[in-house]
């Protein structure tokens, strides 16, 4: 039975209060102990906290639309099949995350 059936942790979009709790935790403790971050937020599990921070809140994350150059580079790297999402994100640089690379809609 999935752990979410007990509704201890919420699913879906983070509320402003949850986001603020997570930001304060990371500011004070750093972004390493996601289990403790989960306890601090109270309504999200460790994975949700890590993904929220790493893919959306961490300073330097680029949430803007991909430039045509970035899009072309991602497309060629995905189609080459020789690199994973994290490696592609590092190669593209410019604050792009593996998650943003993975979800821009390129079918390999």
Residue 63 lies in a domain: no
Instruction: Specify the DSSP class assigned to residue 67.
Output: P
Range of the domain at 81: 68-102
Q: Considering its fold, how many domains does the chain have in total?
A: 2
| Predicted local confidence at residue 3, as pLDDT | 53
Nearest to 43 by CA among 75, 14, 69: 14
Does 40 reside within a domain?
yes
46 and 85 in a single domain? The answer is no
46 and 16 assigned to the same domain: yes
17 lies in some domain: yes
11-51: pLDDT as tens digits? 999 999 999 999 999 999 999 999 999 999 999 999 999 99
Residue 9 lies in a domain: yes
* Sign of the CA dihedral with 49 first, then 54, 60, and 63 last: negative
- Asked if residue 48 and residue 17 are part of one domain, the reply reads yes
Same domain, 8 and 47: yes
0.85 surpassed by pTM: no
Average of per-residue pLDDT values in the chain: 90
DSSP secondary structure letter of residue 64: S
The percentage of the chain sitting over the pLDDT mark of 90, rounded to a whole number, equals: 81
What CA–CA distance (Å, rounded) separates 102 from 8? 29
CATH number (domain holding residue 36)? 1.10.10.60
């Amino acid at each position: 039975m999935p752990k979410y059936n007990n509704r201890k942790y919420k699913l879906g979009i983070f509320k402003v209060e949850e986001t603020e709790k997570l930001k304060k935790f990371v500011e004070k403790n750093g972004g390493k102990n996601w289990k403790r971050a989960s306890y601090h937020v109270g309504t999200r599990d460790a994975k949700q906290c890590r993904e929220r921070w790493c893919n959306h809140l961490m300073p330097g994350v680029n949430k803007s639309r991909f430039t045509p150059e970035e899009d072309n580079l991602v497309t060629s790297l995905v189609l080459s099949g020789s690199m994973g999402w994290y490696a592609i994100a590092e190669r593209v640089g410019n604050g792009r995350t593996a998650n943003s690379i993975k979800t821009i809609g390129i079918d390999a």
